[in-house]
Structure 1
């Protein structure tokens, strides 16, 4: 669809209703951030007063006993703000446990930065939060002024900023226009205020620049270990399937063929029955061998596409399942195999444990990742440590440096979402 830029000849582009709605939604989100920041700002104010009290007590020589509790409280308040900031933006990683001694606290850069954050957030954060609470009420009061000004005493019939006293209807409607202006100002400044309130926390509570690299190295080390563990688990699964299934079938075929060979000269009918049993055992061994091969890499992934493979899984699931796959092109074999494994294991869990009546699989490509979402309307309560197969799914996903989240409250529904990096 072609687009045209506004020019002096055509005039400015009209303000579309959905733009206004989007800006209003951004402003409302900003107010939610500001109000949430008041809670941590109050905690920061309390902690600032406690720090000052502890410092004064240390000067008198009796405050050293308060230092460990104070440092743990400081870290707890800072971690609370880190959780809030992570909820509304990029993750803010904490430094871990707080130092236990005053000398360690002076040597710890994270603690010094937290003290600076407490001082700034206790003042600036509180002020911005209070302004954010005041502006909407001020705007609403002035905007609705014509509805209530006749019911208050004349000296109190004034706008929010007390510029004049209203004595007639024109003045009341002028205050209403002022309230509308306050609404526009409120919607305009709220995002900036939310950013300003969060700025000290993002600047002072975030780890030093090198920490991200160290964390990333640790994550990659854990990912490599998970990949090796998943590989070993898969080899054990294949070995167990071949040993317990296909090998036993082939041994049975060998025994039946030997018995039929000895019986062919004595009893042709018995030999024929033994050969028939041997043929059935060989067919079962072949079927089990094909199942093992499909478990390694389903042929449908190589012959057709991931969408077709997932549709085949959904059609064979005992629970009615709907597939909404909107993938673009093909992905690496490891990515498609992992996606197939995740959905297959999830649908198996749904059929065995969920008591669900419906399930759904959604596949999307977004932000360089292949996102898989499997939901059901079952009883919920899925436990990753309860032997439900979720631990195996997580290892398989993390082996590709992917992410897995599971939400399964008691009573349902259950939602499993996996993100697999696919490189484009």
Structure 2
């Protein structure tokens, strides 16, 4: 009974998918006819202007199929297309025709247009056959004897009518087996044809890693420049002042020892200030609280010091590589600083979750979300620090999403992959 319930549930999910696929395949056939007509006119030299619009129409319908398959399987089907091409009347045509994704879209159009109709009609006929076999014994006797029920044989007696019941059971078994199988086949074929190829994914990955490396180098350079600026403008100037006052105190000791004490005390104060600034610089490189209390303890300290009332929720967190913990710490610190300075919020919330791998081969990911109830409208170009957060996260091959509509709320969400 458990298997029957599972099969029934799979069939209930597959039926709407195949019925929408029936409509989708009908549109695909219309587009296929359009493609063939454009190709025929192109052979005689008059179809070239219609190629870009035709290819884009196919892409739009292929995109709808990706969304349909993703909604049914729960796994996204990424588009394999490069960035948009300028609307030059000559360049798009050559570029669109040269793309492997265009040929794969056309292959999907042919396969889906021909097989989707068959799968959709089977998804209609099989359940109807089950229903028909179940109700024939109810009404066969009311049909005129010279025009008996044909389902699939003439039903002229109670014996023939009762014979429809095992036949209906057979239709039911076929429905429970074939309908989910057809749906899985249709979704798999669409995913294979409409998703990027392995070579395309590899090329995209290389491009992403190149951009990530550039972002990491830029973030590293910016961090070095900040440290140099802090040391030069703060600690170095303090130490120069200490040296000057010690030199003056030395000369005062030779002439008037009593006058040297205030100078020594002032030099001591400047040395203490220099040490404090140096500690601030060290904390900005790697906060000692991370080593002492871990990321959850360090974030708790950040939330407690935030000028806006802040709540912290940590889920499934464990010790991570030091560089990753430092990046997460500074992402939250910068986001809370933005909240205190720019949002006008009454409350902020920080959620940090260690997300397990979605599929075999994936990595764990540290998901950081900082939310406030301020007035929204955060602008990355306004020097709010969001660009720095984005660069810091990109250096770890992660991504950052910022949602800040006018009126709020503002949500900064960073996802950082972490090695096991």
Assess, with a 3 A threshold, how the Cα gap between structure 1 residues 40 and 226 changes in structure 2: closer, same or farther.
Answer: farther
* Count, aligned residues: 393
Change (3 A) 1:222 1:197: same
Give the aligned partner of residue 366 of structure 2: 371
Equivalent residue in structure 2 for 1:348, among 331, 337, 344: 337
Correspondence list, 1:5-44, <5 A: 15=2, 41=25, 43-44=27-28
1:396 counterpart (381, 392, 407): 392
Which of the numbers 285, 288, 291 marks the counterpart of 2:277? 288
Secondary structure of 2:373 counterpart: coil
Q: CA deviation at 1:415?
A: 4.5
Query: Which residue in 2 is equivalent to 1:417?
Result: 414
2:360 match: none
Note the 1:235-250 alignment, pairs <5 A: 235-250=224-239
For residues 34 and 385 of structure 1, the distance between their equivalents in structure 2, rounded to whole angstroms, comes to 47
Q: d(CA) in 1 for partners of 2:310 and 2:50?
A: 61
Quick one: distance in 2 between partners of 1:40 and 1:306? Answer: 50
- 1:188 offset after TM fit, Å? 7.0
Alignment match, 1:115: 106
Equivalent position of 2:75 in the other structure: 89
Question: 1:187/1:108 Cα in 2 relative to 1: closer, same or farther (>3 Å)?
Answer: same
Specify the alignment match of 2:213 in structure 1: 224
Change (3 A) 1:374 1:190: farther
Find 2:311's aligned residue among 302, 307, 321.
321
Q: Which residue of 1 aligns with 2:203?
A: 214
Whether contact under 8 Å (1:82, 1:94) holds in the other structure is: no
Normalising by structure 1, report the TM-score.
0.71
**Equivalent position of 2:286 in the other structure:** 297
> Of the candidates 328, 351, 355, which is equivalent to residue 361 of structure 1?
351
Q: What is aligned with 1:47?
A: 31
Is contact 1:307-1:325 (8 Å) kept? Answer: no
Q: Secondary structure at the match of 1:417?
A: strand
Q: 1:70 to 1:243 in 2, by over 3 A?
A: same
**2: CA distance between counterparts of 1:387 and 1:188?**
59
Deviates more, 1:403-412 or 1:225-234: 403-412
Kept in 1: contact 2:77–2:191 (CA 8 A): no
- Secondary structure of the structure 2 residue equivalent to 1:337: helix
**How far is the alpha carbon of 1:86 from its aligned partner?**
5.7
Q: CA deviation at 1:228?
A: 1.3
Please give the per-residue CA displacement for 1:84-137, whole angstroms capped at 9, x wherever unaligned: 55664254341426895877777654333221211222343456567768999x
- On the 8 A contact 1:378/1:414 being kept in 2, the answer is no
Residues 346-373 of structure 1 deviation map (CA, whole Å, 9 limit, x = unaligned): 2222333331513022222522324222
1:224-270 CA distances to partner (integer Å, 9 max, x unpaired)? 22221111111011111112222233334344445566677679579
CA contact (8 A) 2:80 2:196 kept: yes
Instruction: Name the CA distance, whole Å, in 1 between partners of 2:125 and 2:252.
Output: 99
Gap regions ≥5 residues in structure 2: 144-150, 156-160, 358-362
Q: Which residue of 2 aligns with 1:197?
A: 186
> How much does 1:419 deviate?
2.5
Partners of 1:29 and 1:276 lie apart in 2 by 81
Matches of 2:398 and 2:275, distance apart in 1:
35
- In 1, the alpha carbon distance for the partners of 2:106 and 2:205 equals 27
Tell me the SS of whatever aligns to 2:340. Answer: helix
Greater shift after overlay, 282-291 or 190-199? 190-199
Per-residue CA deviations over 1:133-155 (Å, capped at 9, x if unaligned) read 8999x79x99xx9xxx9xxxx99
Tell me, in whole angstroms, the C-alpha distance in 2 between the residues paired with 1:403 and 1:288: 32
- Structure 1 window deviating more from structure 2 (280-289 vs 401-410): it is 401-410
Distance 1:72 1:289 in 2: 59
Within 2, Cα distance between the matches of 1:240 and 1:321? 33
The answer as to whether partners of 2:331 and 2:389 remain within 8 angstroms in 1 is: yes
- Equivalent residues in 2 for 1:378-389, closer than 5 Å: 378-379=373-374, 380-389=376-385
Tell me if structure 2 keeps the 8 A contact 1:38–1:129: yes
How far apart, CA to CA, are the structure 1 residues paired with 2:278 and 2:189? 61
Please report the TM-score for the alignment, with normalisation by the length of structure 2: 0.72
Judging changes above 3 Å, is the alpha-carbon distance between structure 1 residues 256 and 103 closer, same or farther for their aligned structure 2 residues?
Answer: closer
Structure 2 residue 48 is matched with structure 1 residue 64: yes
